[in-house]
Chain A
Amino acid sequence: KQEVTQIPAALSVPEGENLVLNCSFTDSAIYNLQWFRQDPGKGLTSLLLIQSSQREQTSGRLNASLDKSSGRSTLYIAASQPGDSATYLCAAVWDSNYQLIWGAGTKLIIKP
């Protein structure tokens, strides 16, 4: 069964710290891995999408990596800011069904 797991469920760090969010998935035959953020009462914002042939993607202070052999992806946030506080979700697509399978999310709080 294809599953996506995010640990921890919540994380609180002081402003300015660099941090890593984790995402693990079963079945290494992944099509792509995507990271999103969700702010309270809002929809989701796509942050980064890593195709199966790629190892990482970068956007500003964000860097996402993909290691298919270990079934892991990480989202690195540099120099965290209070505005980074949100729930971060990862989701994977497998080419067996092309459906987005979601992790439960990590709620990130950046303390000023």
Chain B
Amino acid sequence: KAGVTQTPRYLIKTRGQQVTLSCSPISGHRSVSWYQQTPGQGLQFLFEYFSETQRNKGNFPGRFSGRQFSNSRSEMNVSTLELGDSALYLCASRGGSSYNSPLHFGNGTRLTVT
């Protein structure tokens, strides 16, 4: 069974641009969540989608948005990039609707904003 796939692995963008990151969950998983990891703030929850609906949202500005498609693939968009958005972005999928189901993570997309 294929794991969680994130594309691209690396991105370099310029301040003010926008970026879209993609996440394909494990087949059959309907929940996808996104996290930002930086050296200063550590790991922080961005949002979670379940069956195409945003089920939960962390404390990030509106420049961060996401969506989920009918095949459970998810995209995350960041508009008007700032230098502080440079981070490793991780997505995870889970097999059930319960928060007691274990998470399966992709290898992440490393975004560098210059």
Interface window among A11-19, A44-52, A69-77: A44-52
Residues of B contacting A51 in the complex (Cβ-Cβ under 8 angstroms) = 100
- Bound-state CA distance A89–B6 (Å) is 21
Interface residues of B in 23-50 (CB under 8 A from A): 33, 35, 42-45
User: How many A-B contacts are there with CB distance less than 8 Å?
Assistant: 51
Main secondary structure of the interface of A (DSSP, over half): strand
In this complex, how many residues of chain A approach chain B with their Cβ under 8 Å: the count is 24
Cβ-defined contact, A98 with B99, below 8 A:
yes
B6 to chain A, nearest CB (A): 8
| CB-based contact A32/B4 at 8 Å | no
Measured as residues with beta carbon below 8 angstroms from the partner, the interface class of chain B is 20 to 34
Does B16 have its Cβ within 8 Å of any Cβ on chain A?
Answer: no
Cβ contact within 8 Å between A43 and B107: yes
- Closest 10 pairs (CB-CB, A-B): A43-B105, A102-B43, A44-B105, A46-B102, A43-B107, A99-B45, A104-B42, A98-B99, A43-B106, A100-B45
Measured CB to CB, the residues of A under 8 A from B are 31-32, 34, 36, 41-46, 49, 51, 89, 91, 93, 97-105
Some 9 contacts from A to B, beta carbons below 8 A apart, are: A43-B105, A44-B103, A46-B102, A46-B105, A89-B43, A93-B99, A98-B56, A99-B45, A103-B42
Using a CB–CB cutoff of 8 Å, the interface residues on chain B facing chain A are 4, 6, 33, 35, 42-45, 56, 58, 90, 92, 99-100, 102-108
